[in-house]
């Protein structure tokens, strides 16, 4: 039932779909969890068609989790995806090198950007992003030497509230209970808190199913069972959200959240993705 977060090849298509939109994916209030950081350390001044080159990046996140750094080239006029690379990382911070080849049929003007997301996720679940400039030329100018990829974990205990979806199914089965693994940390001396896992419809945020338990002080792993309704078949994708918030308070007063999009709903009698259900 479970599968660990591994990269899937729909990354390019998803990046294309969302890269034309405002990079501000959410306008909701900030949570207490520190934000990840991503920056470019080195990129060429210009690139050439069919010629490999390197882009070096540095990242930092508040805690270790499987993540991936995406480097994408789009056409600036059409937002058509043209080239890119994905580098998996596991440590909370480190440096990586991305190797890219611009294909012969790539069209200018170029738009380059990089972002970091949980592994198996893409632009909708972007954690941090950055942009850079590298024009098309006859050859690669001011090339970057590849780095030895490094990763490190935090050296001090976690001193902030957080929640993350640690493991989840590739599909929730309608009419069945499905386990979801959530990890969270709750700092001491706080009012009563609850941790919840909720499956929602992507287009209008309609709740499909939700489960919650009272949170305990400290860092914990929690298995929550999602009792998906038998009629939970939709004509569009779903996403899973974990939230840590005070008891009886509104969503806007949450202290931490995490989301994953790489899941779906299947029928019991036939393994049918939510996006195909009403076709």
176 located within any domain: yes
* Structural domain total, the chain: 2
CATH at 35: 2.60.40.2550
Q: What residues pair up with 132 in beta bridges, in sequence order? A: 112
CB 178 within 8 A of CB 169: yes
Same domain, 131 and 63: yes
One domain for residues 131 and 6: yes
d(CA 241, CA 43): 35
CA-to-CA dists, residue 177 to 65, 97, 221, 237, 244, angstroms: 26, 42, 19, 19, 22
Vertex 82: Cα angle to 81 and 88 (nearest 5): 80
Exposed / middle / buried, residue 102 (Cβ in 10 Å: 0-12, 13-18, 19+): buried
Residues 137 and 210 in one domain: no
Among 101, 134, 152, identify where a domain stops.
152
Per residue of the chain (279 residues), give pLDDT as tens.
333 333 333 333 333 333 333 333 333 445 778 889 999 999 999 999 999 999 999 999 988 889 999 999 999 999 999 999 999 998 899 999 999 999 999 999 999 999 999 998 888 889 999 999 999 999 999 999 999 888 888 766 788 999 999 999 988 988 889 999 999 999 999 999 999 999 999 888 999 999 999 999 999 999 999 999 888 765 568 999 999 999 999 999 999 999 999 898 886 544 434 444 444
Please tell me whether the peptide bond between 69 and the residue prior to it is cis, using omega within 30 degrees of 0.
no
CA dihedral 142, 43, 17, 93 (to 10 degrees): 160
The continuous run of DSSP H or E covering 77 comes out as: none
Residue 157 lies in a domain: no
Residue 221 lies in a domain: yes
Q: Which are the contacts of 1, defined by CB distance < 8 A and separation ≥ 6?
A: 169, 178, 179
Q: Residues 145, 167: one domain? A: no
């Amino acid at each position: 039932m479970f599968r660990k977060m591994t990269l899937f090849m729909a990354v390019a298509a998803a990046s294309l779909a969302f890269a034309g939109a405002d990079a501000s994916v959410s306008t909701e209030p900030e949570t207490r969890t520190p934000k990840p950081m991503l920056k470019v350390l080195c990129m060429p001044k210009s690139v050439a068609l069919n010629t490999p080159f390197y882009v070096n990046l540095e990242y930092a996140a508040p805690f270790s989790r499987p993540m991936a750094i995406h480097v994408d080239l789009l056409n600036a006029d059409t937002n058509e995806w043209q080239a890119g690379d994905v580098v998996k990382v596991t440590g909370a911070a480190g440096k990586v090198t991305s190797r890219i080849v611009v294909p012969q049929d790539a069209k200018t003007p170029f738009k380059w950007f990089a972002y970091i997301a949980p592994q198996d996720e893409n632009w909708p679940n972007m954690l941090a992003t950055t942009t850079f400039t590298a024009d098309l030329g006859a050859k690669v100018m001011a090339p970057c030497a590849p780095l030895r990829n490094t990763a490190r974990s935090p050296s001090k205990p976690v001193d902030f509230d957080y929640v993350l979806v640690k493991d989840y199914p590739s599909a929730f089965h309608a009419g069945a209970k499905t386990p979801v693994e959530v990890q969270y940390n709750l700092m001491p001396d706080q009012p009563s808190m609850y941790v919840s896992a909720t499956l929602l419809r992507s287009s209008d945020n309609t709740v499909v199913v939700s489960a919650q338990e009272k949170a305990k002080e400290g860092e914990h792993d929690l298995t929550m069972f999602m009792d998906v309704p038998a009629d939970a078949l939709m004509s569009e994708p779903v996403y899973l959200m974990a939230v840590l918030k005070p008891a009886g308070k509104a969503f806007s007063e949450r202290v931490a959240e995490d989301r994953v999009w790489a899941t779906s709903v299947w029928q019991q009698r036939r393994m049918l993705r939510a996006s195909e259900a009403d076709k």
